[in-house]
Structure 1
Amino acid sequence: MLFAPDTEEALEFAVVLANTAATASRSGRDELATVADLERLLRVNVFSGRIDRDETELREVREAREQIREIWTLGRDEAVDAVNRMLREAHALPYLTRHDGSDWHMHATEPDAPLAERIRVEAALALIDVIRMNETGRLRVCAADDCTGRFVDLSRNGSKRFCSVRCGNRMNMIAFRARKADS
């Protein structure tokens, strides 16, 4: 196991959120364009606490998405600055809790804090573990030419290059066709 289960869960949610951007989504459109899109995201990726379901919340979650997407492109020291800023802005105060069938884990905002703030802080707490373990190299941007998808490489040997099997297969097919054309 590379990270604690709640860290992996938060990182996986951060990736799902980051990949709703038009340049990273499978549909090629911004998959977080409407409040209904946000509601769909939260049905599949349950987030506890307050959810307002309004345009302000959507705008704030989209801003959190961009902050999270940016961190994936930063070096370790720059990521520290970004994570610290996210925690500072939220006035984060870590505490242990268990709820909804989850064992003890850490939160740093109250359940009634705005959704975007809770998303940023949950991502920041997970990123703290990544940084402390010197594993920021596992936060990756897809190696496919036409994709900016983010992913966390949780594989044992840390060799993943693509955000999805689809991108990997597409790039392998392009390489295969190029080799065939050269022969």
Structure 2
Amino acid sequence: MNFAHDTEASLIAAVELVNSAEEPDTLTEIADLDQFFVKHGYTGAHARTAAELTAVRDLRPALRRMLSSDRDTAVRLVNRTLAEHRAVPQLVRHGEIDYHIHAEPAGASLPVRIAVETAMAVVDLIRADEMSRLSTCADATCAGIVLDLSRNRSRRYCSTACGNRNAVAAYRARKK
């Protein structure tokens, strides 16, 4: 299934943010948040403060619950997030990106934008009955979230490192 560009972008960013909490934590400095902001094409205010970094880091458990829950639970979490932030979907166009949906209030902080954009992306998964596109990494030593946007739904690992570690382990097991 093909999702809209903003849906995929928001899901990819949310999964990366959630997985940044895994050891080693990769979101510990304001510079890390700056890179995340640029990499995922966020627009709007970016305070570049320790408080903003803390607020974004504090989103990770709630986003993990939203991304790893069953469909009905995800509905409750999405609705709560959208209501809490008074989300009002609007079509916008900026930069090189054609019309897409923003639902956060004008001037919203980065943590609010991340929460609302993730919730809006999960709305698309729920409506398409595609929550199975999200899973937990198949590596027994990892709790990372996997976003599988492949056509054949074959993605099992959250990162190349986890996939390679398991491939090497399987190879070694076969050689015994």
TM over 0.5: yes
1:62 correspondence with 2:53: no
Is contact 2:68–2:145 with CA below 8 Å preserved after alignment? no
Task: Measure the CA separation in 2 of the matches of 1:41 and 1:52.
Answer: 13
> Hey, which bits of structure 1, 4+ residues long, moved more than 3 A?
none
SS in 1 for 2:65: helix
Paired residues in the alignment total 176
Please name the residue that 1:132 is paired with. Answer: 127
1:32 correspondence with 2:30: no
Task: Measure the CA separation in 2 of the matches of 1:112 and 1:78.
Answer: 29
Following superposition of structure 1 onto structure 2, how do residues 72-151 of structure 1 map, counting pairs within 5 Å?
72-151=67-146
Is contact 2:134–2:148 with CA below 8 Å preserved after alignment? yes
Please name the residue that 1:20 is paired with. Answer: 20
- C-alpha spacing 1:36/1:165, structure 2 compared with 1 (3 Å): closer
CA apart distance, 1:175: 1.9
For residues 94-117 of structure 1, the C-alpha deviation after alignment (integer angstroms, 9 at most, x for no partner) is: 111101111111101134111100
Query: Aligned letter for 1:87?
Result: L
Please name the residue that 1:46 is paired with. Answer: 41
TM-score (norm 1): 0.90
Query: Aligned letter for 2:6?
Result: D
TM-score (norm 2): 0.93
Please name the residue that 1:3 is paired with. Answer: 3
Flag structure 1 segments of 5+ consecutive residues without an equivalent.
none
Is contact 1:98–1:105 with CA below 8 Å preserved after alignment? yes
Flag structure 2 segments of 5+ consecutive residues without an equivalent.
none
Task: Measure the CA separation in 2 of the matches of 1:106 and 1:75.
Answer: 24
Task: Measure the CA separation in 2 of the matches of 1:5 and 1:36.
Answer: 26
Among all aligned residue pairs of Structure 1 and Structure 2, give the percentage whose two residues are the same amino acid.
45
Task: Measure the CA separation in 2 of the matches of 1:93 and 1:32.
Answer: 29
Is contact 2:19–2:144 with CA below 8 Å preserved after alignment? yes
CA apart distance, 1:176: 2.3
